[in-house]
Amino acid sequence: MLPYLAQGANSSLEDGAVLGLVLGKVKTKDQLPGALRMYESLRKKRGEAIVRETFKQRHDFHMPNGPEQEARDKLFLSRLGKEDDIEEPFPSRWTCPVVQPWLYGYDADNEVDSAIKQNPELNRRTWEKTLSLLQRNRQGSFENGFQISIIPALLQCKVKMHISVIKQDLYKLQDEEVPIEKIVTATKDFLTMISVSDREKVTYHVDSPEWRSWSNPEFLLSDKGLRLDELHFHTRDAILRILAATLSPEGYQKAISAMRINHFLGELVNSPKIMNEFSYNFVLFGKPSTTRPWGFSFYGHHLCLNIFFYQRQIIIAPWFTGAEPNEIDAGPHAGTTIMRKEEAFGLQLMQSLDPELQQKVQIYKLMHDPAMPPGRWNKDDQRHLCGAYRCNRTVPYEGIMLPEMTAEQKELMLLILNEYLLYLPEPSRKLRLQHILSFESETYFSWIGGYGDDDAFYYRIQNPVIICEFDHHSGVIMGNEEPAKFHIHTTCRMPNRGDYGMALRPLIPSVE
């Protein structure tokens, strides 16, 4: 126990004790940034509590000195029954039961332990238990007895709403002219460059539930595979060659732009070891093959790609792409921008609708609308519904349907969809777009927020085989409390078990 609301040297003592306890929980260098963030959060919590309780209780929270302190101590002891017949020479500012715990002691150890329990970066035991449950989870449902209570608070909103009815027979095996030989060669070349232990570390079974344990934050919720910024540049470049062989040229450029913007952000906030161009993990699932199913995951802050192959067919879903800010205005990559088209085409479509349709498509007027039901907004995902750990989530259809639009508006919709399919090689992209449009009568467009030129907004396009989302986010690193156009999150999923090629896997012939 330490004096809590002290000033000067005593206040430094509090801070030093908390910092020491927090750092004592750090096991690896990767946990250090999260530990320091937690320390700053605890300091902020103390300061806010002082202000809040001062205004609420109207007590003087400063430690008295000299005779006043002695009188306070005697008064406190009398209230505990330790002394009798103590006179009160002045108004008792320290007898309030709310004030006393703050004034007489700060249990730094308890505060740190409580914070650790809610921090998946540092509370490794809880996170590993959570992950083991996730690993036993089958696509679209949880096993009986799943205990939400043991999941860190950060993940609770992500793992408790995924039981849904799956529509069958929506996907089929097909030849999409994917250059699988080139991709396999690039992947095998990479494997020859790394050690046996690294090959074991980077490779998982093709049916591993670790497919689903990717995450977007700058700190890792699941550290698996190999991290590019810890590799020799030759090995790192070999991974990028796999990415280049897999994605369309324009899709690869989009991914590289997201990585460069992440580096730019790291420089802006003096955290280049946490956020840089190569702070991404690469994980293989299965063995690279031209005839059998396999794939890989490439994930980190603001770029997460999950890619499944079977022969000359490819699935790129789910994916997440974001940026904060969405433009580099200095340095060697100045002028780099990302997600401008998705933003512009979406706003253009919304502004082109008749007022009656605008009213119908705008499901909430405010970005964090009081009319939203519980769970419709959360601090991490804010408005988007289909980020990490959201496989097969039941998302209601909202807004207007594609047949309600004019030919010009439908063309804008196609332009938006093309941007969300940009990672796919062109032949696959064309086939995928045809597949999406075959559900025209079930394709919905919905909107949250304003639709003036300067307004932040969210939109979603959705049918049985695609959900794509665009969201202007509040600041995470930059600090803006309200959503702003320079922080963007986009997601894309293939509902009904299309993600990770799950719907295709039962169709693949087994090997005798």
Contacts by residues 250-259 (CB-CB < 8 Å, ≥ 24 positions apart): 250/422, 251/422, 251/423, 251/424, 254/321, 254/338, 254/422, 254/423, 255/298, 255/303, 255/305, 255/321, 255/423, 257/336, 257/337, 257/338, 258/302, 258/303, 258/321, 258/322, 258/323, 258/338, 259/303
Task: Give the number of C-alpha atoms closer than 13 A to the C-alpha of residue 172, restricted to the C-beta side.
Answer: 4
Q: Note the residue count of the chain.
A: 512
Q: Give the pLDDT confidence score for residue 50 in this predicted structure.
A: 52
- In eight-state DSSP terms, residue 229 is G
Q: Give the pLDDT confidence score for residue 24 in this predicted structure.
A: 76
- Phi and psi at residue 500, in whole multiples of 5°? 60, 15
Cα 273 to Cα 3, 28, 143, distances in angstroms: 36, 14, 38
- Are 393 and 318 in contact, with CB atoms under 8 Å apart? no
User: Which amino acid is present at 245?
Assistant: A
Pairing of strands 226-227, 280-285: antiparallel
Q: At what angle do helices 9-23 and 32-57 cross, to 10 degrees?
A: 140
Q: Give the pLDDT confidence score for residue 48 in this predicted structure.
A: 59
Closest-CA residue to 97 (of 80, 73, 74, 114): 80
- Are 225 and 215 in contact, with CB atoms under 8 Å apart? no
* Number of alpha helices (DSSP H) and beta strands (DSSP E) in the chain: 15, 12
Task: Give the number of C-alpha atoms closer than 13 A to the C-alpha of residue 322, restricted to the C-beta side.
Answer: 28
What stretches of 247-368 show up as alpha helix (H) in DSSP?
249-268, 340-352, 355-361
- How many of the other CB atoms lie within 10 Å of CB of 371? 9
- Are 300 and 262 in contact, with CB atoms under 8 Å apart? yes
User: At 53, which helix (H) or strand (E)?
Assistant: helix 32-57
SS3 label, residue 256: helix
- In eight-state DSSP terms, residue 357 is H
The one-digit pLDDT tens for each residue of the chain (512 residues) are 444 344 444 455 567 777 777 777 777 766 777 777 777 777 766 665 554 544 444 444 444 455 656 665 666 566 555 444 444 444 444 445 444 444 445 566 667 776 665 554 555 444 444 444 434 433 333 233 323 333 444 444 444 434 467 899 999 999 999 999 999 999 999 999 999 999 999 999 999 999 999 988 877 778 899 999 999 999 999 999 999 999 999 999 999 999 999 999 998 888 888 899 999 999 999 999 999 999 999 999 999 999 999 999 999 999 999 999 999 989 999 999 999 999 999 999 999 999 999 999 999 999 999 999 888 888 888 999 998 888 888 899 999 999 999 999 999 999 999 999 999 999 999 999 999 999 999 999 999 999 999 999 999 999 999 999 999 998 877 767 889 898 999 999 999 999 999 999 999 998 75
- Burial string for 479-503 (b: 16+ CB within 10 Å, else e) reads eeeebbeebbbbbbbbbbbbbbbbb
Cα 345 to Cα 341, 399, 434, distances in angstroms: 6, 17, 20
With tokens 């908390």, the residue in question is 18
Q: Give the pLDDT confidence score for residue 151 in this predicted structure.
A: 40
Q: Give the pLDDT confidence score for residue 36 in this predicted structure.
A: 78
Tokens of 142: 């949880």
User: At 317, which helix (H) or strand (E)?
Assistant: strand 313-323
- Return the bridge partners of 449, or none: 457
**DSSP labels, 392-461:** T------SEEGGGS-HHHHHHHHHHHHHHTTTS-HHHHHHHHHHHHTTGGG-EEEEEE--STT--EEEEE
